Each structure stands twice: as C-alpha cells, then as structure tokens.
Structure 1
Amino acid sequence: MRVARMSPVQKRRIFIALLLLMLVFAGIAGKLFWIQIATAESYSSRDINLVKNSVIQRQRALVLQSGRGQILDRHGKPMTGKMAKALVAFPIHSDYQMSRQDADRLARILQTSSERWLTFLQNLKEPQVWGAGESGAFAQLSDSQAGQIEALGLPNIKVVDMEDRYPAEMTARQLIGFIGQNPERVQELYGTDVAKGKMALTTKIGGSGLEKSFDTWLRGLGETSISYFTDAGKRPLAGLDARLIAPNNAYYPVKLVTTLDMDIEAKIEALMDKLGIKEGAAVVQDAEHGDVIAMASRPNFDQSDVRLSSNNWINYAVKATAPGSIFKTVVAAAALDEKVVSPTETFNCEGALGKYGFTCWLKGGHGPLTLEQGFAESCNIVFANVMKRLTAPQLERYANKLGVLNDVGWTGKTDTMEAFRQFDSEEPGQLFASHTPHDDEGVLMQTAIGQRDVRMTPLAASNLIVTLLHDGKGFEPRVVQEIQYQTGREMEKFPVKKLTSPDGVITAATSRTLLDWMREVVTDGTGQSLKGATWNLAGKSGTAQLQSGKQEKINQWFIGYGPVEAPKYAVSVVVKNTGPADKNQSMPLFKGIMDILAASGTSDSR
C-alpha cells in the first residue's frame, strides 16, 4: 500500500499548528508559574495574596480581642476591655458526632439542655462562641466551668479568654464613647496604613467620646484571634488544629489612664436612674486641679447597638444648653469687679419690671434687696437693674474670664499632634446669637438672667466653680492623665494646665465674695433643701425656660462646691427638658452626689 506523500504546504500547516499548540501550553505553564510562584503574594493590580487566601480557605478564625487599648479609671480599674472565659465551638468534618454522653456532661456544665447544645453544634458553619448574641455579648464561664470543660477533652471545643469591650455594668458610656465601622473616615485618617495593608477599610475605629479622640493611640497593632485549620473535608490538620494568632509586641495595646473614679461614677449614675432623670448630665471635678472625677449623661445607651439617629449616645456634659440663673454668677462677678454696685445699695422687686414683659420668678416680689440678697434669692429684677449699669462687651469679657464661652477641656500639643483636645465634640458657650442686637436693653436683661441666647455646658459650669475656688485662676479640666504602654511605662503625659483668657481673670476678692454668697444660697436662699446634706454645701440654682414648639420646657440646674470649710469638689448638674409643673430634681441630685463624695473619703488627685 502506498502512503500519500504530504505536500510542502501541508507540512507547513502542521508545523504551524504544532507550534501554536506548544505556545499555548507554554503560556498556560508560564501563567501558572507566575500565579503560583512569582506573584503568589501579590497577584493582580489589587495585590491579592494567593498564599494567604489559600490558607484562609482552610482557616476558620474567631476574633477574641480587638487589640484596642484599655481605658482605666484613676485607680487602674479597667472600664473597657474586660477579659472573660468563653466557650468556642468549631465546625469539623461530618463524620464526627458528639456522643450523647459527652453532650449531657457539657450541657450540665453550661447549665443548659443537651438538645439546645446539640442544635447549636449542628448549625455551625463558622467558629462560634456559645451564648453569643447580636449585641456582641456572650455567655461568660466561671473558672470552675472552664476547668470542667477542658477536662472533657472534646476535639471541637475550646475554652478561650475573650474580650468584652463594653461590659454590661460599664459606666460613663457617653464619655467613653463607642467604636464602629466608618470606611470614609478610616481612609481619611489612616489612608497610608490602608495602602500598606496594615489596616482594612472595615476596621472599627472610635465613633465618639474617648474612643474617638484617643483613637490614634487606642487602635493598637491588630486583633488576637483563634484559628482552626482544616483540610477540604473539614478534618483538623495535625498540629494545626487550634492556634492563637496575636501581635507579638510586649508594649501594646496601650492603657489610657483617666482621672475618673469608677466607683463614684457608678453610684452617681445609679442615683440619676433612681431619681428617674430621663435627660441630663452631672460633672464632678476635684477642687485641687479641676480633674474630672465623674461625668454622667442620660439617657443611657448600648455601645454594641448604636443608633446615630437617636440622641442617647450624645454626652450632654459637653453640650451647651440654656443655663438660667446660674449665669447670674457671671453678672455678679462683672458688677463686683467693675464696682457698679455698692454693697449696701438696695433694689426694689415688686414681681415685675414694668416693661419688656420682664418678671421675677416670685410673683408677689421680694421687696428691697441688696445684690448679695438678690443673688441668694435669685431675684430677676435685681439682676435686670444691675445689667443696666453694664455693657455687652463688659459682660462678654467676664464670661470669658470665667471660661463659660469657650471650650474649657484640656487642649495642647502632644508628641504626635500639634493641637489635641481630650473631650470629643465639646461645644463652646454663647452669649448672643449671630443676629441678636447686643445693645438692646430688653435683650441685655434677658441675657443677665441666663435666658434668650445664653448657652453653657455642664463642664464649663463646674469649671467656673473651680475657677472661683482658685481666686479666679482656673484650670483646663483633664479626663485623661497619661497613656501607658502595656508594660506600665509612660508613653504620653497630659500635665495639669491653667485656663487662660485674653481678657485675664476676675479678682481674688470677687471670687471669695461669690463663694460666700453661694453659701448664703443654701443657708437663706433658693438652695435651702440642701441643708440636710452630710457636708455643708454652697452653690447657685438655675431654672431656664425653653420653647419647644408650642410646649414650654425647663432646664433645672444647680452648681456648687463642698464641703464649705475645705472644698474638695466642684459639681454641676442639669436636668433637661422637664415640664413646668415637674418637681425640682437638680437639687436632690446635687445633694445626693455630694453625699456620695462625702462617703467616698478624700479625693485622690494625681
């Protein structure tokens, strides 16, 4: 049989086909080499790490600790990041079935039913913490429970130490704030770290409070997680089953050492709840340096379920609101220092001024009063007449001298920031709104009694008292005194700072006079319900009328100090948006706080 010979054209076609086939195979081989070897850790323009992702496919990880720094009180007690023992269950291959006997033993230790445990186990697709809820809370084990569970030696469960960032009993929630996802802000603040792969856009960062203002220090070096490695059949890999993965750095996470006293804070918040205060704030500062000992805000909120549309996460202690008659302290300071009123001069209060619809809170009037008596009785008519002798610029200067128009919280330069503020979203005070005429007599009279456009924060109000206690020379209140490395070594220090104003300070004589007059408020004036307190107290009451639509609302205030003989604390309280007929809650709250402080012993200022 003869075999047909191929023509040159046919040979050339076969050669080209074989060459193309070889090139295709070579391209595939080259691509595989490039993916698997050359660029396995940085594949495509998105820098996908294929080695890492191939491991992730076999790795089931659960975050045990966020890596954020702890927030401590002044005594070193942790306020966030409480560590507790938890039970983690891992999904493994379908061949494994927990025996009924083991399930019964485990259920007894967990104080649950075997059926509930087995249902939980059967539904596992990822590692899961026993008793975990949507809020982030989990069932915490006692040391005894943990020991008994470990003694069972079950292959798919493990007792771990897990972080409870915001424990159920936590206090000062608005001051401490919360963490959450905010990709835009992460990109804005930490874009360089994101680009280097050190941080993801979904990383949780501070959303409010100390968590936000100190986020640069608190965010740490990374999470601690427990990982469970399996093969394609979900069978544990020998020697790789459960492994703890954590940043290897003895210095992190850091510790934020605050000036707060957690026990005092807890008692004050319990008192606010007992009194049924729905909306308001309380601030306690030590008299020595103005450090914040407690800062409470109501309503309370859950940091694991933050609803930004609500106001319950807002810290009312640093939000400016109408002060009412506590502002008369500023007017009295201006009148004394400017010497526009003599000590013996009297003003006659008949209950109404006779113009502008301006009235006193006492409808029948107080009769003849000196400025000293008018302060104790909080007489509107006396202060309206005094304001006739002062100008708007004078009043503004004294408001600045006493720190009620500015952000008073600690501000300064740190090792990493040129201008750093400790208090998140602290608002300045206000004397006049932008379009209010400053020279209108009726406006000035309303301003003199803390109405119309006047606004002040509870923090500025308590700090005003500290300023008077130091002869007019106040402080910028701190809430954080230092940041420490995990080893306890100092990382950043926030020193005590004086409060400064371009308008200077009020005189020591005026400061002492006002402190004496505050004592008369309690002995003979509007604060007589405070007479039964543990300490002798002094202060100033305030009631501010607010218009909310067609409804009238009231801010109830009291600010002051105690004990009178040797002042240790300055306190301000405000109960916001109460009804006109509601009983006064500010003075019972102030008295209760002072009794808490009296029972706590001496202040421990650092």
Structure 2
Amino acid sequence: MWRKRAIGWLIISIIGLLLLLVRLMQIQLIETETFSKHNVNLLEESVKQRTQELVIDNGRGNFLDRNGTMLTHKKVSVLVLFPFLKKMDWDADRVSDISGIPVEVLKMAVEGAKKPFAYGDPEPVELTTSQRDRINSLKIPGVFAIEKKFERSEVPAEQLIGLTGENAAELQKRYPDKELAEKTLIGVSGLEESFDEFLLPEGKSKLVYHVDGGGAPLFGINVKYVDPANPFYPVNVRTTLDKDLQQKAEDIVDQYQIKKGGLVLLNIEDNSILSLVSRPTINKNDPYNGTGMTNMMLKQQIMGSVFKTVVAAAAIDHNLDNAQRLFDCSKKINGKPELRYNYGMLDFTTSFARSCNRTFGELAKELQNINPHLLEDYAEKLSLTGSVGWHGDIFHTNDFKQMADEDKGRVFLSDDARKDANIAAMSGIGQHEVRATPLAVANMMATIARGGEKEMVRAVSKIEYKNGTTMADFPKQNLNGDKISPYTAMKLQRLLREVVVNPNGTGRWFKDLPYEVAGKSGTAETGKYQAGMQLHNKWFAGYFPYEHPKYVLVAVNLDVLDSEGGVNLLFAEMVKMLYQKDHRMQ
C-alpha cells in the first residue's frame, strides 16, 4: 500500500515539475515578448525592474506646420538630473551658475527625486545652446543638458490634428502583424488617426541607468543613451497649416466668443488649409465628454442663404437671371406678406445681394420643373455634396483619406422631397434638408474664385523621413465630376462682390476693409429652441482680394439666437489681420 502511495506522489511530483518547467519555458523562451492575453513584453518589464530611464523622445512621428515648426510637441534644451546625485558630492554650484537655477533649489530637487527628471517638468526651464554646451563640458555624472521632446499644453487646430491614446485591444486589431509594445500610442481622432500607420514608433530615445533594489547604481554611475538609430524614422507629417496664423485665428474666434462653430481659412493657390478653428475646445481631462472632440468644420450644418449661390449658378445656366425680371420681395416664399424683410420689387442681382428668400424660392421651383435633380447637380458641381478633403492611393492604401471624419453634404433625402414644390422652395434658401460642411462651403468659394476649377482640399502636403527626404507627396488634385463653366463662375463672382458693394447688401459691413471681399451671408433656422426662441446658424463665406483671389474664409456661429452671435466682426478682423501680415512681409 505504501509503495503505491509513494509511486503516486512521485508521479504527481514529476507532473508538477514538468508543468513548472513548461511554464518557465513559456515565460523565458517562448512568450518573452507576448506573455498572457495582455501581450506583456517580459523582457522589457524585467529591464524596467533593474533600470531607471528618462524618455527623450517617444518615437512617434511629428506634425509640422507648412514652415516646418512642430505643432503638437516642441523640442527644448533642458537640464536632466539623476537621483544617484544625492549619494555623490557633485558640483551643484557650477551647474547653478550656468543654468541660473539657485543651487539650493537644485539640491532639493535631487533629494526628492526617485527617477531621472528634466528640471521644471512639465514646464521645464529652457536652456540656451551655450548653456547646454557649458553644462555638458563639466562632464558631471548624472548631470546632462539635452534636447527633449515635450507635448505642447495647447495644441493648435486640435480637432484637425486629433488625439492619441493607449488602447491595447485596438492596437492589436489595427496591427496584428506588427510587434508593438502594449502601451504604444495610437491615433484616436483627426489626422493622428488618419496617418497613424505612418506615425508608429520604431522605438524610444532615452537615457538609462541600472539600479539595485534600493535604487542605487548597480554598475557605477554610467548612464547609457538608447536610440533606435534609424535615419528614416520617426517621420514628420508636414501639414498645410501656418502655426502663427492658426494661433491668431484661434485668438480671434475666442475674442468674439464663438461657443460652437469656428472658421476655415484656405489658401486658394494650392487649395490647402491655412488655419481651421473648431469650438468648443477639447476637454483634456475628459475628451469624450461633450462635443469638443467633434471637428465642427467637417460636420454637415444647416447653411441657410449661402446655398443661394448654388441656385444662382443653376439659374444663370438656364437663363433665369434675366436682368429685366423683377421679383416680389414683399412676400415670403409661401406668398404671405413679408413684414420684417419687405424689400419690394427686386431684380435678380439685387435679390442676391439682399438675400431675398422669395426670389430664390421661386427660382428653385422653376429649376425643379426643368429637372428635379438640378439643385443637386449644381451643388455637386460646386463641391458641396461630396467629400472635398484629399483622397487617393498611397503606398498599399487604396483611397486614403486625409480627413476621414469628413461628412458629405446633401440637398434632398428622398425622391418625393425632390419633386415637392414647397420643399424645393425651402431648399432654394438652404433650409429643410440642405446640409454642407464649412470645409465644403469654403471649397465652393475657392472653386468660384478660380473660375470653376474644383480641387481637393489638402490638410497635409507630404510625409518626410527623419532625414528630410520625402516619403510621400500629396499633390494638388482635381475633384472628379462636372463643374461650372468659366462664364458661370465669372457671373457668380460679380454676384458675390455685389453682396458687399451694394449699399443694402448683406455684406456691406466689409466694403471698407483693406482687402476687397466677395461673399455670401447666411442665417439658417435650426429647428432648435432655447427658452422658446428659435436658434440659428450664422454664416459668412467669401474670398479676397476680389481681383486677385488669395484667401477663402468661412466663419460660422452655430445654434445662437437671432439677436446675437453674428460673424461679421470676426470675419472682418480676420481680413484685417491677413492684410497686415501680407504687407509686413513685403
């Protein structure tokens, strides 16, 4: 009996040892970099237990403005101190003299440190190149002056650029064939998400030293610099933004208290975004709470009378713009008396300048009788209803979209609506189901300013390798589909200018600006109410200078009372700022 028990225990012990051996092999030989369902890198974790490190650069690619300035991060020369200095007699006085940091403050910082740190982080004391070189010439172990990458506290065009975050499940889902650390940052919105695959890190740049269990140096005081040493990565994504213009635009939007809305500024020459501001801002502590993450400039909005530009284009091509014809602007589109905006009898041009609803309701119905699809056809010709952001094939990605979260616009939702005269009239003044993004409205103005040529809007011009060579270009590219004729574009240009120069035009506030402006206003009813009062979307979309177009600007204030929230002052301030900038540079 005892022999059977002994043999049984022996077998159990052998099985246990075998299982332990298999487990050890799994940990130390087989799954060293992808242990457990969490894909833990055991090699990295073991190194972390016996080292302390300071990350200089997380290795993720960078976003630059059109002039090469970093947008989301900045590189700053800083003083780095290691905690083992507290166990040494180091020349804090010399470091203090060079850096300007009081010696007692330096010593206190080191005494309280458990890990290496950049002095003053998260708002580090910036050193000059001379200070950096002089500190490093001291050759004090544990004292370094280096250039370190810091995230900006305020990121320009934050909704356009987007956010990054840690999400192990999403990381594995996106890149099942890549070996990436579990805590690798990935893009979760905006350009960060669109360009994520290009921005993934090859590895971190860091300063490392080995410690024992108590945090004391294990192999003396030698500090090691670790770098992926890849001349091509991380890449730089060169946007079309101008950082200085972007900052000024954001300041102006906030100055005029735009709570929901913003602006788009395009450079007509290369049809690219110079600045884009969306409000509300992102709540950094809880980004998914509220609408701050939403880029309002890429989301379809009710556009109101700005859509009359589309009706005007169709009317011109179908000879409905007879200069002798008068429209009864003392009536609403439903035929009832117009008490608030009683303009009397107006011709086509003056109707556009004063934004007479009756005229464009009538024209929309006449166009519907000719062809129920005409309004949609002309909205498409003017790039209002499709995606306008740059898209195309790049590397192994088909139909890559720079702005993947861009909405498409629309005119009608059903064939019944398309054939309904009353709905056609409402659509003619940009109400009912008519929607477009502010970016698409900006592109419509650029199309008209260029004489009818419609192009994709770029937010990024190219991707550059670390060494400055080009990895991928995003060239100017035409939008597919029909377009308006140069003749129609010329007549629209004159109509848009009349809005400003006509003494009663809705854009008369811009007549005396230093740049000659052409454009169209819009006040759209949203169907939303506040304290029983209707809320509106207020727009002005235009381009300038009129004779030699350079800029397109669209400003919009969303969900505001009719008595507040105009965008005229904001638009005017932007025009004056751009004029001053251009003439300072000359």
Q: What are the superposed Cα offsets for residues 19-67 of structure 1, whole Å, 9 maximum, x if unpaired?
A: 979x97x969x95997699838849964877665443321112322121
Match among 377, 381, 384 for residue 361 of structure 2: 384
Match among 141, 152, 158 for residue 166 of structure 1: 152
1:107 and 1:117 in contact (8 A); partners too: no
Superposition deviation, residue 229 in structure 1: 0.9
**C-alpha spacing 1:51/1:527, structure 2 compared with 1 (3 Å):** closer
Q: Could you tell me the percent identity over the aligned residues? A: 32
Task: State yes or no: 1:271 paired with 2:261.
Answer: no
Superposition deviation, residue 250 in structure 1: 0.7
**Map 1:55-66 → 2, pairs under 5 A:** 55-66=47-58
**C-alpha spacing 1:112/1:578, structure 2 compared with 1 (3 Å):** farther
Residue 381 of structure 1 aligns to which amino acid in structure 2? Answer: R
**Distance between the aligned counterparts of 1:453 and 1:368, measured in 2?**
28
**Map 1:519-598 → 2, pairs under 5 A:** 519-524=497-502, 525-549=505-529, 550-582=532-564, 584=566, 586-598=567-579
Unaligned runs of 5+ in 2: none
**C-alpha spacing 1:434/1:602, structure 2 compared with 1 (3 Å):** farther
Q: Tell me which residue corresponds to 1:516.
A: 494
Q: 568-577 or 327-336, which moves further after superposition?
A: 568-577
Superposition deviation, residue 305 in structure 1: 3.9
Q: Tell me which residue corresponds to 2:240.
A: 259
**Distance between the aligned counterparts of 2:290 and 2:94, measured in 1?**
45
**Distance between the aligned counterparts of 1:460 and 1:55, measured in 2?**
52
Match among 451, 454, 458 for residue 471 of structure 1: 451
Q: Tell me which residue corresponds to 2:160.
A: 175
TM-score by length of 1: 0.84
2:308 and 2:430 in contact (8 A); partners too: yes
Q: SS of the residue aligned with 1:475?
A: coil
1:230 and 1:241 in contact (8 A); partners too: no
Bigger Cα Rg: 1
Q: 285-294 or 203-212, which moves further after superposition?
A: 285-294
1:467 and 1:474 in contact (8 A); partners too: yes
Q: SS of the residue aligned with 1:211?
A: helix
**C-alpha spacing 1:512/1:228, structure 2 compared with 1 (3 Å):** same
Q: What are the superposed Cα offsets for residues 192-237 of structure 1, whole Å, 9 maximum, x if unpaired?
A: 11xxxx2133311112111111111122312222222112342213
Q: Tell me which residue corresponds to 2:176.
A: 191
**C-alpha spacing 1:102/1:76, structure 2 compared with 1 (3 Å):** closer
Superposition deviation, residue 568 in structure 1: 1.4
Q: What are the superposed Cα offsets for residues 392-418 of structure 1, whole Å, 9 maximum, x if unpaired?
A: 411111111111111111110011201
Q: Tell me which residue corresponds to 1:307.
A: 287
**Map 1:18-417 → 2, pairs under 5 A:** 31=21, 39=29, 42=32, 46=36, 53-92=45-84, 96=87, 102=92, 111=101, 114=104, 118=108, 121-132=110-121, 137-143=122-128, 146=132, 156-168=142-154, 170-193=155-178, 198-238=179-219, 241-301=222-282, 305=285, 307-355=287-335, 363=340, 365-391=342-368, 392-417=372-397
**Distance between the aligned counterparts of 1:43 and 1:411, measured in 2?**
37
Q: 215-224 or 120-129, which moves further after superposition?
A: 120-129
Superposition deviation, residue 190 in structure 1: 1.0
2:455 and 2:477 in contact (8 A); partners too: yes
**Distance between the aligned counterparts of 2:40 and 2:479, measured in 1?**
53
1:107 and 1:114 in contact (8 A); partners too: no
**C-alpha spacing 1:374/1:87, structure 2 compared with 1 (3 Å):** same
Superposition deviation, residue 354 in structure 1: 4.9
1:103 and 1:114 in contact (8 A); partners too: no
Residue 534 of structure 2 aligns to which amino acid in structure 1? Answer: E
Q: Tell me which residue corresponds to 1:4.
A: none
Unaligned runs of 5+ in 1: 1-8
Q: What are the superposed Cα offsets for residues 152-173 of structure 1, whole Å, 9 maximum, x if unpaired?
A: 77655544322123354x4222
**Distance between the aligned counterparts of 2:470 and 2:441, measured in 1?**
32
**Distance between the aligned counterparts of 1:526 and 1:300, measured in 2?**
30
**C-alpha spacing 1:532/1:394, structure 2 compared with 1 (3 Å):** same
**Distance between the aligned counterparts of 1:378 and 1:213, measured in 2?**
39
Superposition deviation, residue 131 in structure 1: 3.3
**Distance between the aligned counterparts of 2:23 and 2:221, measured in 1?**
28
Q: SS of the residue aligned with 1:498?
A: coil
Match among 449, 463, 470 for residue 490 of structure 1: 470
Q: What are the superposed Cα offsets for residues 123-145 of structure 1, whole Å, 9 maximum, x if unpaired?
A: 5444444433xxxx332322266
Q: SS of the residue aligned with 1:446?
A: helix
